[in-house]
Amino acid sequence: MATHELYLGGPPSRNYGLSMFPAQPFNEAAAPFNQIGVASHKGPAAYNDKRRLDFAGGDHALSEWARNATIVAGDKLGAVLIPKNCLFLGFSAQVIAAGPATLSITPSLRGKAHTFAAINGAVVMPEPVFYPASGAAVAQISEGVASLALAVFDNKPDMLDLTLTTLPAGKLGGLILEITPVLITTAVGGIP
């Protein structure tokens, strides 16, 4: 049995006579393969939609809203708008700066039965935690964890909500939370 490298792109071929195939043997650890991006003529298909919620003062508009709003346990924050015609693979969450003690946040997709494991907003996370679209939290991002079989597709926009499950004293304090949905667009050229 042999492997025939017929992929397009990648590092230059070392074939004599300038033949296109076979291409260089694929090696995921080799430097030339690690420096290659997606072909520009394909257009963006997959992207992340990172949202940094900085209640510590780095985002002045958000901090001003939090200072003047009445926030109670059970309130939802519409955190990230997910465009229509996208396959939602899941999202990562990372608490950069802790909020008040016992702060608990439950992510969900608005109007869907998808809820996810709670985020402990009172503890700094040294690394992001990945939440596949299936709803289970994965302790660390590694190979082979998420499945496309449980991805969510909608021909209407969605909203990734954050429910303030437990909110002491009605304030978010110095919380800095990054939420990063991972999406694949199905539209031509990457524009939904």
Starting at the edge strand found earlier in the chain, the sheet holding 104-109 runs 76-82, 158-166, 104-109, 119-120
Model pTM?
0.72
pLDDT digits (tens, 9 = 90+) for 78-133: 898 888 778 888 888 999 999 999 999 999 888 777 778 899 999 999 988 888 87
The count of residues in the chain is 192
The Cα 101–Cα 116 span in angstroms is 21
HEC string of the chain? CCCCCCCCCCCCCCCHHHCCCCCCCCCCCCHHHHCCCCCHHHCCCEEECCEEEECCCCCHHHHHHHHHCCCCCCCEEEEEEECCCEEEEEEEEEEEECCCCCCEEEEEECCCCCECCCEECCCCCCCCEEEECCCCCECCCCCCCCCHHHCEEECCCEEEEEEEEECHHHCCCCCEEEEEEEEEECCHHHCC
Poorest-pLDDT segment among 38-47, 75-84, 180-189: 38-47
The hierarchical CATH code for the domain 46-190 is 2.60.120
Domain boundaries, the chain: 1-37, 46-190
* pLDDT for 140: 47
From its phi and psi, is residue 43 left (phi > 0), alpha (psi between -120 and 50) or beta? left
Residue 188 or 50, more confident: 50
Residue 75 scores a pLDDT above 80 = yes
Degrees to nearest 5, angle at CA 155 with 149 and 161:
75
